[in-house]
């Protein structure tokens, strides 16, 4: 009883720190979680991510704007940095993901959240960053023996880049069979993913992790 109350308090504090974009508090409570021996994955998902979800809701309601979201994301990143080394891995990485925001696009807050969640879920994530030249996705996937390519675009002008990556991938049949492609980002949709030949579309970070897990299960059947 005592310990679960203890845990709840840490999660709540962590969540509030992120909602308020307070780096100092976020790091403090992440360290507190480690000190109290709280499961780090749980602290990330129930503290950090819950906080970021509230931030997302506030943004959708136009109560928050990007400046507030950026501060929250920074606070979350700092807290996750503290927690990540303590996430218990049961076995090796569950899969390799190459992630990035396509060429021409410099918006990457969403992509970073997906990356954090994938890592927390045990994936090895190779982050190509933002404004990524299209061929880099395919080349990196090849070199690193990746299972999944995850791309995001936040502008309608950069969206077509994702379709091109799929095409490049298709040039190598073996590679295409091995590598699944998932996409996301505000202007994209399930239908758009289908049209460009991607394997799936993720609505948000949680959906992206579910998709990645599903891909890996299918692969091992």
Partner 1 sequence: MTPKKRALLCLTGNKWKADRVSAFDPLTTATVEQMEIVKAPFPDAHRSPKLMAKLAAAAWEIVGLEGFKVPFDLCVQAEALGAEIHYGALDIHPSVRKPAFKELEDFKIPEKILEKGRFPVVEGSVKILREKYGDYLPICRQVVGPFTIAGHVFGVEKFCAWIKRKDPEDLLDVLLQLADLNVEEARAALQMGADVICIADPTASSDILSPQTFKELLVPAYQRITSKVGAPVVLHICGNATSYLPYLPDTGIDAFSCDAQVDIAFAKQVLGNRVAVWGNVPTVKVLLQGTPEDVKRACIECICKGTDGLIPSCGIPPRTPIENFRMLPQVASCMVYV
Interface ranges with partner 1 (CB under 8 A):
21, 62, 65-68, 70-71, 74, 103-107, 109, 131, 133, 156-158, 160-161, 187
Instruction: Tell me how many degrees the CA angle 47-48-49 measures, rounded to the nearest 5.
Output: 100
134 CB burial (10 A radius; 0-12, 13-18, 19+): buried
Which lies closer to partner 1 via its Cβ, residue 19 or residue 33? 19
Nearest to 58 by CA among 70, 43, 42, 69: 69
Kindly write down the DSSP assignment for every residue of 42-76, as one continuous string: HIIIIIIIHHHHHHHHHHHTTSS-HHHHHHHHHHH
Closest CB to partner 1 among 17 and 216? 17
The least distance separating partner 1 from the CB of residue 157, rounded to whole angstroms, comes to 6
Min separation Cβ 137 and partner 1, Å: 14
Q: Which residues pair with 201 in a beta bridge?
A: 183
Of 32 and 131, nearer to partner 1 (C-beta) is 131
Instruction: Check: CB of residue 1 under 8 Å from CB of residue 37.
Output: no
- Kindly state the smallest distance separating residue 134's Cβ from partner 1, in Å: 9
> Which residue in 130, 128, 153, 123 sits closest to 138, CA to CA?
128
Q: What single-letter DSSP state applies at residue 188? A: -
Q: How far is the CB of 156 from partner 1 (least distance, A)?
A: 5
Cβ proximity to partner 1: between 9 and 190 the closer is 190
CB of 152 to partner 1, least distance (A): 15
Q: Which residue's CB is nearer to partner 1, number 37 or number 160?
A: 160
Whether the CB-CB separation of 7 and 25 falls below 8 Å is answered with: no
Taking the least distance from each CB to partner 1, the nearer of 65 and 217 is 65
- Least distance between partner 1 and beta carbon 191 (Å): 10
């Amino acid at each position: 009883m005592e310990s679960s109350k203890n845990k709840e308090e840490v999660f709540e504090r962590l969540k509030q720190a992120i909602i308020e974009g307070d780096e100092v508090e976020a790091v403090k409570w992440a360290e507190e979680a480690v000190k109290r021996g709280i499961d780090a994955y749980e602290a990330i998902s129930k503290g950090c991510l819950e906080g970021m979800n509230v931030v997302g809701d506030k943004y959708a309601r136009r109560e928050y704007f990007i400046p507030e979201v950026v501060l929250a994301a920074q606070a979350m990143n700092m807290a996750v940095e503290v927690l990540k080394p303590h996430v218990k891995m049961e076995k090796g990485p569950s899969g390799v993901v190459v992630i990035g925001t396509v060429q021409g696009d410099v918006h990457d807050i969403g992509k970073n959240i997906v990356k954090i969640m994938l890592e927390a879920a045990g994936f090895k994530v190779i982050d190509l960053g933002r404004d990524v030249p299209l061929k880099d996705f395919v080349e990196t996937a090849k070199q690193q023996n990746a299972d999944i390519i995850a791309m995001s675009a936040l502008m309608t002008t950069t969206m077509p880049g994702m379709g091109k990556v799929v095409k490049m991938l298709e040039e190598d049949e073996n590679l295409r069979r091995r590598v699944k492609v998932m996409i996301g980002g505000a202007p994209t949709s399930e239908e758009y993913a289908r049209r460009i030949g991607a394997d799936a579309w993720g609505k948000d970070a949680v959906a992206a992790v579910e998709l990645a897990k599903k891909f890996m299960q299918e692969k091992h059947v």
